[in-house]
């Protein structure tokens, strides 16, 4: 390894540790301000998503481009050198962003053009004009687009403390405002008509939400860039939705995810200055999104897959135990199937597997799971015996199944041939209250006994 | 199933929720519609509607699809602009009487995959009372629970609304309006797509509301139950066809005028009409 590359690695480490330990005042300010930006983005984005206005933020950010270019040109014309002031550029962005938003609303309400088309038209129009103006800007002497390019791609490192105070300050205002009207915004997003009937000025509330979204979009332009700023608003709440069904938790989580991805992005891009900050912020957010997509407690893929699997296992288990019971029932006699007597007889593996049309693999899986869980005991000669717990569960499973079957037979007009299959699906989700209700309706004389099967058990039909 | 039994009981035993309701001068008409016309895109959907609702009755608005039933309610609640005419609620414009009016929109008008619980939805009925910048305090949460109890849904208070059945969602919507403790209620198809036990529960609530002197106006689709459920009927098909006590107004002849053209249906109906009258 050459000395030069060692040196490079060394300075890289130096840079990294400076960034992470926040030794620079500038890094500290940028970190704090950008984190606030992420928090406000997550919070406002939550309502934007729930209001199904996700694309609106994209329109605003793209519509800001001509405003930025125009503001630069005008400022340079009237007072050369002032064109790169953040305030002037943001003002231009704000005006044209709002204009773009207003135009979408106008197209939507005055023509028969649909929402998505209206958004796409405005986005394309404004971005096209913006791109054209940018080529003009680049031909001017001062305008080699050094500062302006950052609006397109984002560059946290180029932010100076003064800019960040502005960004952070506005973010805090948005956060406070959004929290203040939290319940009104949630009502607007859930049921606009009811809100209007209760006397809320829904256009004003809607305008407030739009204004907050526009504000976050625009103050996010410099750090993330207009191509990616929409991610600041949309990724955190979408990720948060995987974890919760509660709006308060969702918005809090979205704020946290937004803040964390911005903070992570700032630190990483300070450590590796070659990386575009906007991209790093968005990638950090996307990483959190992916984790949420897979592991999110409420809607994540993995928990959903697991609960589906657990449900199937529960069904398999009660099917198996029911088969054990039904195999023993004729031997014991219908009234002698106590928990104790059920444990005394051996169940032949072959007969058991013939009780239902289980695929071979499935049957062996079920049996070995039941043995592992202490419901069945494996005997020496290809046979099993129910444990005390297994016998209890078997009785319950059969009772549930038969109660439901009898209910379907006596209280509904279902074809009796369909009843057994129908009962198979529902009995697994009956809760104790519903069982009590079933018993009440069926005037069951022995509340906790197992009623006889209402139809002949088709044991012989399935055994070869 | 079991829940509806509980409701019946409590709805019956509960004393009229607010004695104050009876204090409102009985001479004041809960709803007075004068010459109301509504147009969408310059195409009129309601023409010259006049109606005066009697106090303390259950009133059905009946008419074919597209006859303007929902629009009429929305025009009353200032949700769509009126091209002409005026509406008075207890003698005053709606915006001055909002607190006395409860509204149950169509269940399908909202996205039920919204991340809130049944209790949260019911609390929305009291947001005006709670006021801006304040969270929902314990007092209001209790009131929301009571409203859920009246519709037999108190056990589902913490349940996410996307995990409720259609009938349960409808009850939550009803509870949200009940939580307002209004004197005049508008309900847009509360019986649409609900199970039998929910239908019974809603009917019991409607009757309990009537017992305590409230007026309830319901957009209703099921012609067979009009006689059983409602005291008064408004027959609507862009124009007011007829309005008044069910026994006088809900006649095959008037229905023919309202549903004109759909004769096959009408013949069935007039047969059905004959039955409840003979009872």
Tell me the shortest Cα–Cα distance from A91 to chain B, in angstroms: 30
Does the pLDDT of residue A142 top 60, yes or no? yes
pLDDT band at B62 (very low <50, low <70, confident <90, very high): very high
Does the pLDDT of residue B278 top 60, yes or no? no
A194 and B124: CB-CB below 8 Å? yes
Nearest CB neighbour to A244, from listed B1, B114, B115:
B115
Whole-number pLDDT of residue A403: 81
Nearest CB neighbour to B115, from listed A187, A196, A247:
A247
Residues A57, A365: Cα–Cα separation, whole Å? 52
Domain stops at, among A174, A206, A228:
A228
Copy the structure tokens of residue B104: 């149950």
Each residue of A156-210: pLDDT tens digit? 666 777 888 888 999 999 999 999 999 999 999 999 999 999 999 999 999 999 8
Nearest to B220 by CA among B64, B74, B113, B20: B64
CATH of the domain at A218: 1.10.3470.10
Each residue of A229-269: pLDDT tens digit? 889 999 999 999 999 999 999 999 999 999 999 999 888 88
Do A217 and A361 lie in one domain? The reply is: no
Does A401 reside within a domain? yes
Helices (H) and strands (E) in chain B, counts: 13, 9
Whole-number pLDDT of residue B131: 92
Q: Are the C-beta atoms of residues A219 and A50 closer than 8 Å to each other?
A: no
Residues A256, A235: Cα–Cα separation, whole Å? 12
Q: How many CB pairs (< 8 A) connect A and B?
A: 75
Whole-number pLDDT of residue A89: 86
Residues of B with Cβ-Cβ distance to A407 under 8 angstroms: none
Q: Are the C-beta atoms of residues B155 and B117 closer than 8 Å to each other?
A: no
Average pLDDT over residues B221-247: 94
Nearest CB neighbour to B77, from listed A50, A183, A197:
A197
Do A214 and A341 lie in one domain? The reply is: no
Domain stops at, among A193, A228, A263:
A228
B95 and A198: CB-CB below 8 Å? no
Tell me the shortest Cα–Cα distance from A233 to chain B, in angstroms: 18
Task: Give the N- to C-terminal CA distance of chain B in Å, as an integer.
Answer: 29
Copy the structure tokens of residue B232: 């008064």
Each residue of A299-356: pLDDT tens digit? 999 999 999 998 888 888 888 998 898 888 888 876 777 777 888 888 888 888 888 8
Q: Does the interface ipTM go beyond 0.90?
A: no
Do A308 and A180 lie in one domain? The reply is: no
Do A161 and A31 lie in one domain? The reply is: yes
Pairing outcome for strands A346-348 and A376-378: unpaired
Whole-number pLDDT of residue A90: 85
Each residue of B123-150: pLDDT tens digit? 999 999 999 999 999 999 999 999 999 9
Q: What is the DSSP string of A355-417?
A: TTT--HHHHHHHHHHHHHTTSEEE-SSSEEEE-HHHHHHHHHHHHHHHHHHHHHHHHS---HH
Whole-number pLDDT of residue A427: 67
Query: Where would I find the beta strands (DSSP E) of A40-114?
Result: none
Query: Counting Cβ atoms within 10 Å, is residue B105 exposed (0-12), middle (13-18) or buried (19+)?
Result: buried
pLDDT band at B103 (very low <50, low <70, confident <90, very high): very high
Does A421 reside within a domain? yes
Average pLDDT over residues B247-272: 74
Q: Are the C-beta atoms of residues A160 and A86 closer than 8 Å to each other?
A: no
- What are phi and psi for residue B192, nearest 5 degrees? -70, 120
Residues of B with Cβ-Cβ distance to A438 under 8 angstroms: none
Q: What angle do CA A338, A342, A344 make, to 5 degrees?
A: 125
Does the pLDDT of residue A462 top 50, yes or no? no
Q: Rounded to two decimals, what is the model's pTM?
A: 0.81
- What are phi and psi for residue B59, nearest 5 degrees? -120, 130
Does A43 reside within a domain? yes
Does A205 reside within a domain? yes
Place of tokens 């994540």: A300
B117 and A246: CB-CB below 8 Å? yes
Residues of B with Cβ-Cβ distance to A193 under 8 angstroms: 74, 79, 105, 109
- Which helix H or strand E contains B197, and what residues bound it? helix B196-211
Torsion of CA B111, B114, B116, B118, to 10 degrees: 30
Residues of A with Cβ-Cβ distance to B128 under 8 angstroms: 198-200
Q: Are the C-beta atoms of residues A151 and A93 closer than 8 Å to each other?
A: yes
* Residue with more model confidence, A341 or A291: A291
Copy the structure tokens of residue B137: 């305090």
Length of chain B: 279
Pairing outcome for strands B232-237 and B58-62: parallel
For residue B128, the chain A residue with the least C-alpha distance is: A198
Residues of A with Cβ-Cβ distance to B129 under 8 angstroms: none
For residue B1, the chain A residue with the least C-alpha distance is: A437
A-side interface with B, Cβ within 8 Å? Answer: 50, 180-184, 186-187, 189-191, 193-194, 196-200, 241, 244-247, 250, 433-434, 437
Whole-number pLDDT of residue A447: 54
Residues of A with Cβ-Cβ distance to B132 under 8 angstroms: 180-181, 184
pLDDT band at B14 (very low <50, low <70, confident <90, very high): very low
- Which helix H or strand E contains B103, and what residues bound it? strand B101-104
CATH of the domain at A374: 1.10.10.10
User: What letters, b where the CB count within 10 A reaches 16 and e where it falls short, cover A257-291?
Assistant: bbbbbbbbbbbbbbbeeeebbbbbbbbbbeebbee
- Which helix H or strand E contains A76, and what residues bound it? helix A54-78
* Residue with more model confidence, A231 or A83: A231
Does A53 reside within a domain? yes
Walk across the sheet containing B43-53 and list its strands.
B43-53, B31-40, B84-89
A193 and B2: CB-CB below 8 Å? no
Does the pLDDT of residue A228 top 90, yes or no? no
Residues A70, A132: Cα–Cα separation, whole Å? 11
Do A28 and A168 lie in one domain? The reply is: yes
Do A36 and A155 lie in one domain? The reply is: yes
* Residue with more model confidence, B116 or A83: B116
Query: Counting Cβ atoms within 10 Å, is residue A226 exposed (0-12), middle (13-18) or buried (19+)?
Result: buried
For residue B177, the chain A residue with the least C-alpha distance is: A194
Range with the poorest average pLDDT among A350-354, A406-410, B104-108: A406-410
Q: Are the C-beta atoms of residues B118 and B156 closer than 8 Å to each other?
A: yes
Residues B154, B201: Cα–Cα separation, whole Å? 14
Domain stops at, among A228, A256, A277:
A228
pLDDT band at A76 (very low <50, low <70, confident <90, very high): confident
Whole-number pLDDT of residue A197: 96
Each residue of B175-184: pLDDT tens digit? 999 999 999 9
A198 and B116: CB-CB below 8 Å? no
B128 and A193: CB-CB below 8 Å? no
* Residue with more model confidence, B77 or A269: B77
Each residue of B29-61: pLDDT tens digit? 999 999 999 998 778 899 999 999 999 999 999
Range with the poorest average pLDDT among A305-319, A386-400, A427-441, B207-221: A427-441
Torsion of CA A229, A204, A67, A224, to 10 degrees: -10
Residues of B with Cβ-Cβ distance to A247 under 8 angstroms: 114-116, 120
For residue A247, the chain B residue with the least C-alpha distance is: B115
Average pLDDT over residues A50-75: 90
* Residue with more model confidence, A292 or A340: A292
Average pLDDT over residues B6-27: 44
Does A213 reside within a domain? yes
Whole-number pLDDT of residue A237: 97
Number of compact structural domains in chain A: 2
B114 and A50: CB-CB below 8 Å? yes
Does the pLDDT of residue B24 top 50, yes or no? no
Tell me the shortest Cα–Cα distance from B98 to chain A, in angstroms: 6
What 8-state DSSP symbol labels residue A82? G
What percent of chain A shows pLDDT beyond 70?
A: 85
Structural domain boundaries, residue A344 = 304-441
* Residue with more model confidence, B86 or B25: B86
| C-alpha dist (Å) from residue B165 to A27, B159, B222 | 52, 11, 21
Does A234 reside within a domain? no
Whole-number pLDDT of residue A353: 85
Does the pLDDT of residue B174 top 60, yes or no? yes
Does A3 reside within a domain? no
Nearest CB neighbour to B79, from listed A197, A247, A433:
A197
């Amino acid at each position: 390894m050459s000395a030069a590359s060692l040196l490079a690695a060394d300075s890289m480490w130096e840079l990294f540790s400076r960034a992470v330990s926040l030794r620079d005042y500038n890094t500290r300010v940028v970190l704090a301000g950008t984190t606030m930006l992420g928090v406000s983005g997550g919070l406002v984005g939550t309502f934007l998503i729930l209001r199904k206005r996700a694309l609106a933020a994209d329109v605003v950010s793209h519509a800001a481009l001509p405003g930025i270019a125009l503001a630069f040109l005008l400022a340079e014309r009237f007072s050369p050198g002032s064109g790169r002031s953040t305030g002037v550029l943001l003002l231009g962005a704000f005006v044209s962003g709002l204009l773009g938003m207003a135009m979408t609303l106008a197209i939507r309400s005055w023509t028969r053009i649909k929402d998505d088309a209206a958004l796409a038209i405005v986005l394309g129009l404004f971005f096209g004009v913006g791109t054209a103006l940018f080529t003009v800007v680049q031909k001017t002497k001062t305008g080699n687009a050094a500062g302006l390019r950052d609006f397109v791609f984002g560059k946290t490192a180029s932010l100076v403390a003064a800019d960040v105070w502005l960004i952070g300050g506005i973010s805090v205002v948005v956060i406070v405002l959004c929290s203040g009207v939290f319940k009104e915004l949630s009502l607007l997003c859930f049921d606009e008509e009811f809100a209007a009937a209760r006397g809320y000025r829904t256009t004003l509330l809607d305008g407030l939400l739009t204004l907050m979204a526009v504000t976050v979009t625009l103050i996010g332009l410099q750090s993330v860039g207009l191509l990616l700023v929409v991610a600041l608003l949309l990724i955190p709440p979408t990720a948060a939705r995987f974890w919760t069904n509660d709006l308060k938790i969702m918005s809090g989580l979205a704020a946290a995810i937004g803040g964390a991805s911005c903070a992570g992005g700032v630190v990483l891009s300070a450590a590796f200055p070659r990386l575009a900050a906007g991209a790093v912020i968005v990638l950090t957010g996307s990483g959190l999104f992916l984790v949420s997509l897979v592991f999110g407690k409420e809607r994540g893929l993995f928990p959903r897959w697991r609960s589906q699997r657990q449900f199937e296992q529960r069904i398999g288990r009660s099917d198996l135990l029911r088969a054990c019971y039904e195999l023993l029932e004729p031997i014991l006699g219908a009234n002698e199937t106590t928990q104790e007597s059920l444990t005394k007889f051996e169940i032949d593996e072959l007969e058991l597997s013939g009780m239902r049309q289980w695929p071979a693999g499935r049957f062996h899986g079920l049996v070995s799971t039941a043995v592992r869980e202490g419901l069945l005991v494996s005997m020496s000669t290809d046979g099993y015996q129910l444990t005390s717990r297994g016998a209890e569960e078997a009785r319950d499973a059969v009772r549930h199944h038969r109660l439901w079957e009898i209910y379907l037979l006596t209280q509904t007009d279902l074809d009796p041939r369909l009843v057994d299959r129908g009962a198979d699906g529902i009995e697994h989700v009956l809760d104790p209250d519903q069982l009590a209700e079933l018993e009440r309706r069926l005037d069951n004389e022995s509340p906790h006994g197992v009623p006889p099967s209402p139809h002949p058990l088709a044991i012989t039909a399935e055994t070869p | 199933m079991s829940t509806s039994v509980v409701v019946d009981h409590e709805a019956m035993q509960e004393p009229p929720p607010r004695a104050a309701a009876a204090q409102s001068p009985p001479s004041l008409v809960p709803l007075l519609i004068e010459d109301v016309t509504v147009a969408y895109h310059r195409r009129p959907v309601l023409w010259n509607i006049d109606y005066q609702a009697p106090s303390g009755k259950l009133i059905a608005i009946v008419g074919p699809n597209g006859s303007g039933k929902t629009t009429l309610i929305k025009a009353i609640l200032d949700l769509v602009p009126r091209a002409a005419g005026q509406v008075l609620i207890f003698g005053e414009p709606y915006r001055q009487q909002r607190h006395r009016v409860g509204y149950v929109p169509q269940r399908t008008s909202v996205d039920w995959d919204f991340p809130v619980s049944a209790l949260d939805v019911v609390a929305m009925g009291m947001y005006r009372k709670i006021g801006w910048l304040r969270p929902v305090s314990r007092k209001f949460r209790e009131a929301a629970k009571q409203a859920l109890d009246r519709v037999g849904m108190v056990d589902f208070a913490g349940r996410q609304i996307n995990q409720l059945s259609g009938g349960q969602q409808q009850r939550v919507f009803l509870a949200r309006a009940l939580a307002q403790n209004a004197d005049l209620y508008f309900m847009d198809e509360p019986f649409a797509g609900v199970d039998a036990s929910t239908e019974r529960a809603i009917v019991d609530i409607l009757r309990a509301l009537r017992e305590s002197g409230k007026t309830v106006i319901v957009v209703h689709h099921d012609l067979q139950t009009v006689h059983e459920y409602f005291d008064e009927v408004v027959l609507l098909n862009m124009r007011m066809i007829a309005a008044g006590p069910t026994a006088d107004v809900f006649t095959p002849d008037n229905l023919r005028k309202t549903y004109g053209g759909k004769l096959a249906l009408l013949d069935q109906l007039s047969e059905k009409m004959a039955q409840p009258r003979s009872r």
